[in-house]
Amino acid sequence: MIEFDRVTITYDGATAPVLRDVSLRIEEGELALVVGRTGVGKSTLLGAVNGLVPHFTGGRLAGRVVVDGRDTRTHPPRDLADVVGVVGQDPLAGFVTDTVEEELAYGMEQLAVAPDVMRRRVEETLDLLGIAELRARALHELSGGQQQRVAIGSVLTAHPRVLVLDEPTSALDPTAAEEVLAAVTRLVHDLGVTVVLAEHRLERVVQYADRVVEVHPDGTVTSGAPDRMLISTAVAPPVVELGRFAGWSPLPLSVRDARRLAVPLRDRIGRRPVPDPPRSAERQRGATALSARRIVVRYGDVTAVRQVDLDLAAGEVTALMGRNGSGKSSLLWAVQGTGTRQGGSVDVGGTDPGAVPPARARRLVGLVPQTPTDLLYLDTVDDECAQADRESAGASAVGARALLDRLAPGIPGELHPRDLSEGQRLALVLAVQLAAAPAVVLLDEPTRGLDYQGKRSLIGILDVLASEGRSVLVATHDVEFVAAAADRVVVMADGDVVADGPVGEVVGASPSFAPQVSKILAPVGVLTMDQVRLALPEAV
Amino acid sequence: MTTGSAARAPRRGSGRRIPRALHPVAWWLWAVSLAVATTAVTNPVLLLLLLGVLAVVVVNRRTDAPWARAFRYYLGLALTVVAVRVAFLAVFGGDLPTQGVHTLFTVPRLPLPSWATGLRLGGAVTAEGTLGALYAGLRLGCLICCLGAANSLANPKRALRVLPGALYELGVAVVVSLSVAPQLVESVQRVRRARKLRGGPTSGFHALRGIAIPVLEDALDRSLRLAAAMDSRGYGRRGGVSTGSRRLTAALLVAGMCGLCLGAYGLLDGSVAAPAGVPALAAGATLCGLGLALGGRRVVRSQYRPDPWRAAEWGVVLCGLVPAVVLVGRLATHPAALAPSTDPLVWPALPVVPALAILVAGLAAVIAPPPVRAAHRDVGRSAPATPGSPGSPGVTATGEPAPTGRRVAA
C-alpha cells in the first residue's frame, strides 16, 4: 500500500539528511507504529507519505514514495487527498469550517463527491466515531477528545485507504486518548484502513500495532514485527522494559500477556520489601511552603475550582491529575497569583502572591505555563538568560545561565530558542523562572512532546529542585511520569479535590490511573521499573 | 435534490412549519431591495416604519448563532450616525442663508480667514437645518440597518458559498481570516498573562515586543498548519485544465473589468455622451460573465447540503421588491410625500401607498420558514461535554470561560 524505495530527504540548508536511504513497505490494512526519539524525523516520514514533504515543506527527496500506485513525485498532497488522510497533533489548527457537519463534508466537497453520497457518508462517519450528537456544534466548543475524533472523521469521509496520524493523543487525558485510539483500532479492524501512527506514549498503542517502524538518529529506518523490533528500540513502554528485564520471550506487549508471564517474577519480588523510588539523598520533606485555603475560580457562570484547600511541603514533588477541564490549570494560575481568583487565600511565607505585584509574586511562586514558548521572545538563549537575570535582580546568587546548565547542560548560548528541542526549551523556561528563586515551582503539563528520555531528565530536574528544598507541583496526565517523579498525588474532578495522598495509594489502586508495571505486578506495590531494578539487584 | 432537504420542505396548513434556514441570497436580495427603497425616502414616518419592519423580521427569523445577535450593534451605529450628523450641522453648517428663519439657538461663531469661504464654525442653528440633517441622518441609519438585518438573518459564511466557482478561493480566504481573528485575540490574552509570570510589563510600548513576537510566531505556525491541512485535504485540486484556458479566463476578466470601468465612467460623467456608457457597461458585464463561467468550469468541487431555493425564497424576495419598486416609482410622481419639505417647516404626512408597500416587506417574517434554533436540534443530546479544550493551550489560562456544552435555548 505504501512503498518507500531508497528515500533520502534533506531539508534546505541542512547539512545532513533527515531520512537516509529508507526502504520500507507497509501492507494494506496494517497498523504501523512509528517510534523514535523526539526530533529524529518521525514527522518527516509521516509527511512524506502524502507528499507534504517535500511539496509543502521544501527540501529534496531522492528515491520514490509510492502510495496506492501513485508516486508522490508527480502527485502533490491535494491529488492524494482521496487516498491518504492526515490528522495532526492539534486538531483545532487544521479545521477549515466551524461546525462538525461542515467540517466532515469539507474534504468531500474538494473531491467533488456527489451531494447524496456526501450526505450518506457524513451520517455514517458520525455514527462510526460516535459523534452523532455533536453534529451541529461549533468545533471550538468541543473537548479535546471530541475534536480529535472530528478531525479523524473529517478525513475519513473521503474514504482514504491510508490514515496518517501524527501524535493524535499527545494533548489528551487518558480517557480521551482511549476514545481516540479505540476509534482508530476499530477503523483498522472493521474497515481495513491502513494506519501509520506516531505516538510518544507507546504504552497506549503498542499492543495494537502490526508493525513497528523505528527511525534512528542517523536517519535510517528499520521495521518489523512489534515483538521482534521492541527488543532493541531506543524507546520502549514500561511493559516492554519489564519484559526485557525479565528476559521474557516472546516479548509481551500488553498488560494481559505480561501478567501471564509474570507469575514467577511476582513471587520473587513479593517476598522482598517494596523499595523506595530512587531519590537524591538530600531530598527531605520539610515544612509547609504554600498553604491555599478555600480557593474559588469562576468564569462567568462556570465554576472551575470549588473551594479547594491545598498544602505544599518543601522538598516534595506533588502531581496534580484529573481529566481535561477539571480545573487543574485554573488552580495553578490562581495559586500563583496571576490568574483570577474569586475567593480564598494563599500563604507563601506570610505573603499572598495574589496581593503583590507580578514581579514580587514570581519570587514567591514560579509557574511554567502549558505553552512555555509564550514566555520567550528574544533571539538567543543567552539574551533570554541575561534578561531573566535583569528581571529578577538580587533574587538569586545563581544566574539563569548557570541554572540552565545545571538543568540541561551544553545548550549553545547563541541558538534561537525556537531551534531547541521541546525538552531543552522547557529547561530554558524553567531556568528563567528559577532565576527569581521561588520557593514553590508550578509546572502545567510539562511532559507534552517529551519522549521517555526527555521525561527521565525532567524527573531528574524535579528531583534536584526538591532536594534544594523547593516545593514542586506538576499538573499532568501522564501516569507513568507521575509514578516515577512524584511523592504525592492530588486528583481533581469537576473543580473539587477528590483524592490526595501518596502516589502508591492513589495511583496504584486506580484501575485507569495505575501505571503498567503496577498493573502487571499487582498486588505487589511496585510502580516503576526503577523500583523493580532496586528490588532485584542480582538480576541486573 | 437530496432526500433530507425534501423532508424539510415547509408544510403549510398542517400545523407548525418545519424549521429550515432560508437561502442566504434571498435575505440579501430582500435587504438590498429595502435599502434601494430607503434611498428614495426622507420622510421620517416612513423611515421609522421601515426600521420597525426590519426589527420585526430580524427578531422573528434570526437564529441563535453569534452573528445573529449583530443587529443591535448596527442599530447603535445608526443612532451614532444620526447624532453625529446633527452635531456636525450645529458646528459647521449653521447660519447658511438658505437654512430658514426659525433659529433654535446660536453657537458662538469663530471668525475664519477669508480663504476659508464656504466653511463656517458656529452661528445660528435653525429648526429647518436641524430637521434636514435629522432626516438625512435617519435615511443613512436606515441603510445601515438594512445591511445589519441581512447580516443577522443570513450566515455571512454561507452567503459566500454562492459565489461563482471562479471566485471560490476568494471566499475561502475571507472565511479563514474571519476564523483567525478570535484565535489571535485568545493568543494575545494568553501571552499577556504569560508575560506577567516573568514580571514584565503587560501594556505600553515596552511590552509590545514581548507580546507581539510570541503572538506572531503562534499565528504564523497556526496558518502554516492550516495550509498544510487544507492542502492534504484536496483544497485547490485542478481538474485537468490547460494553461491556455486559464490564460483566456484571465484575459476575459481583465477586459471585462476595463469595460465595466469605462461604462460606469460614461454613465456617471455627464460630459461623456450617455450612449458611450451603456454599451461599454454591457460589453464589460458580458466579458466578466464569460470569464467567470469559463473559470468556474475548471473548478471540480461539489457542495454539501446546498441551500434549496423554493417558494419561500421567491416570496421573501418579492416582499422586498414591492417597496423598492413602489417607492422609487413614486419618487417621480409624488416627491412631496416621500421627501417632506423642511423649509418651510411642514409636518410629515403618512402617505398611504408607500406605507402599505413598506408593510408588505414585513410579510417576510411570515413567509420565511422558522429558523433552526438550538432547542430544535439539540433534542436527545447527551450530557454536556467535558469543558475545556487542550487543543488550544490555556483555554482556562486565558481567563476565558471554559466552553461548556450547555447552550442557552432560544
What is the DSSP secondary-structure string of B13-75? TSSSPPP-PPPHHHHHHHHHHHHHHHHT---HHHHHHHHHHHHHHHHHH--SSGGGGGHHHHH
Which single residue is written with the C-alpha cell 527488543? A231
Tell me if A358 and B386 make a contact (CB, 8 A cut-off).
Answer: no
pLDDT tens-place string over residues A51-109:
998 898 889 999 999 999 999 999 999 889 999 999 988 888 888 887 899 899 999 98
Output the pLDDT for position B393: 36
Q: Which three cell numbers stand for residue B100?
A: 430658514
Q: Is the ipTM of this complex over 0.95?
A: no
Residue A122 to residue A107: CA distance in whole angstroms: 11
More confident residue, B3 or B206: B206
Share above pLDDT 70 across residues of chain A, in percent, rounded to a whole number:
100
Q: Which of A93, A122, A135 comes nearest B222 by C-beta?
A: A93
What is the count of residue pairs from A and B with beta carbons less than 8 Å apart? 246
Residue B62 to residue B60: CA distance in whole angstroms: 6
Residue B185 to residue B178: CA distance in whole angstroms: 12
pTM: 0.76
Question: Within its chain, how far is the Cα of B352 from the centroid?
Answer: 30
Tell me if B399 and A299 make a contact (CB, 8 A cut-off).
Answer: yes
Output the pLDDT for position B119: 66
Lowest mean pLDDT among A20-24, A397-401, A425-429, B46-50: A397-401
Around A364, how many Cα atoms within 13 Å sit in the side-chain half-sphere?
A: 23
Please state, rounded to an integer, the average pLDDT across all residues of chain B.
77
Lowest mean pLDDT among A80-89, A149-158, B3-12, B319-328: B3-12
Å between A333 CA and nearest CA of chain B: 7
Rounded alpha-carbon distances, angstroms, from residue B65 to A104, A312, A364: 20, 45, 45
Which residues does residue A66 pair with via DSSP β-bridges, in sequence order?
A: A3, A71
Q: Which of residues 67-96 of B touch A (CB under 8 A)?
A: none
Which single residue is written with the C-alpha cell 506538576? A474
Q: How does residue B375 score in pLDDT terms, banded at 50, 70 and 90?
A: low
Domain A288-507 = CATH 1.10.150.670? no
Output the pLDDT for position A138: 82
Question: Does residue B406 register a pLDDT over 60?
Answer: no
Question: Within its chain, how far is the Cα of B125 from the centroid?
Answer: 35
B403 in contact with A at a CB cutoff of 8 Å?
yes
Output the pLDDT for position A190: 86
Tell me if A338 and B197 make a contact (CB, 8 A cut-off).
Answer: yes
Output the pLDDT for position B389: 36
Q: Which of residues 162-221 of A touch B (CB under 8 A)?
A: 171-173, 176
Residues 6 or more apart from B243 whose CB is under 8 A from it?
Answer: none
More confident residue, A40 or B99: A40
B231 in contact with A at a CB cutoff of 8 Å?
yes
Domain boundaries, chain A: 2-235, 244-271+508-540, 288-507
Q: How does residue B390 score in pLDDT terms, banded at 50, 70 and 90?
A: very low
More confident residue, B153 or B398: B153
Q: Is A222 in contact with A214 (CB distance < 8 Å)? A: yes
Q: Is B125 in contact with B105 (CB distance < 8 Å)? A: yes
Q: Where are the alpha helices (DSSP H) in A20-142?
A: 42-49, 52-55, 91-94, 100-110, 115-128
Which single residue is written with the C-alpha cell 396548513? B13
More confident residue, B355 or B394: B355
CATH number for region A2-235: 3.40.50.300
Residue type, A257: D
Residues 6 or more apart from A124 whose CB is under 8 A from it?
Answer: none
Mean pLDDT in residue range B298-323: 87
Q: Where are the alpha helices (DSSP H) in A201-313?
A: 226-229, 238-246, 255-261, 263-270
Q: Helix A400-407 crosses helix A381-391 at what angle (to 10 degrees)?
A: 120
Tell me if B397 and A154 make a contact (CB, 8 A cut-off).
Answer: no
Q: Please give the full DSSP string across A116-162, using - where no structure is assigned.
A: HHHHHHHHHHHHHTT-GGGTTSBGGGS-HHHHHHHHHHHHHTT--SE
The 10 Å Cβ neighbour count of residue A267 is 10
Q: How many helices (H) and strands (E) does chain B have?
A: 15, 2
Domain boundaries, chain B: 19-162+307-372, 164-237, 240-299
Lowest mean pLDDT among B30-34, B272-276, B293-297, B316-320: B272-276
Q: Is A3 helix (H, G, I), strand (E, B) or coil?
A: strand
Å between A253 CA and nearest CA of chain B: 29
Which residues does residue A418 pair with via DSSP β-bridges, in sequence order?
A: none
